[in-house]
Amino acid sequence: MANRTSCERADHTRRRLETEPNVWLATASPDGDPHLVPLSLAWIDDQIVVATPSDTITAKNAAANGRGRATLDSADDVAIFDVAIDVVDYRTADRTLIGGYVTRVGWDPGDNDGEWSLLILTLLRGQAWNGPGEMAGRTIIRDGAWLG
């Protein structure tokens, strides 16, 4: 594959965020212990939205430090994002947001037992590349703004 421009990488990454079913989310405890999980992905209003039980390590880490790293599921088509995380109680979340999430992922966390949270991931920095030839110029989001 020929090396893509920054705009081509950004467009491709947006399409992936709109269509891929999952995202891997890494968080860290206040002591710095890493935790990594796959979660169902909804791309809503330029943010990644995921759901998790409120008592999970992921939800607790996100509430404690509000930061994480997310990546789409391919080592051949890399997309990595540094994110700010907002933790929202599922029961009190905006109904439009819940509707968008349920429509996109095909299931409703509210139908499950226990307390659930939506994690709203705001992209702060993003990188995308396909192989060593695209390592240069891989940053597609800087300070929350898409570069392409």
Of 91, 85, 50, 74, the residue nearest 128 (C-alpha): 74
Work out the pLDDT band at 1, boundaries 50, 70, 90. low
Does residue 130 or residue 102 have the better pLDDT?
102
What domains does the chain contain, in order, with CATH numbers?
6-134 (2.30.110.10)
DSSP string, 41-64: -EEETTEEEEEEETTSHHHHHHHH
Reference 146, options 121, 127, 131, 133; nearest CA is 127
Mean pLDDT, the chain, rounded, equals 94
Percent of the chain with pLDDT over 70: 98
For residue 147, give the nearest of 120, 115, 118, 124 by alpha carbon.
124
pLDDT average, residue stretch 8-23: 96
Contact 109, 51 (CB under 8 A): yes
Q: For residues 48-56, give the mean pLDDT.
A: 98
Length of the chain in terms of residues written = 148
Average pLDDT over residues 119-123: 98
Q: 22-37 pLDDT, tens per residue?
A: 999 999 999 999 999 9
Predicted TM-score (pTM) of the model is 0.94
Report d(CA 81, CA 123) in Å as an integer.
6
Q: How many CA atoms lie within 13 A of 1 on its CB side?
A: 13
φ, ψ of residue 122 in degrees (nearest 5): -95, 125
Predicted local confidence at residue 132, as pLDDT: 78
Find the largest Cα–Cα distance for the chain.
49
pLDDT at site 19: 96
Higher pLDDT, 137 or 111: 111
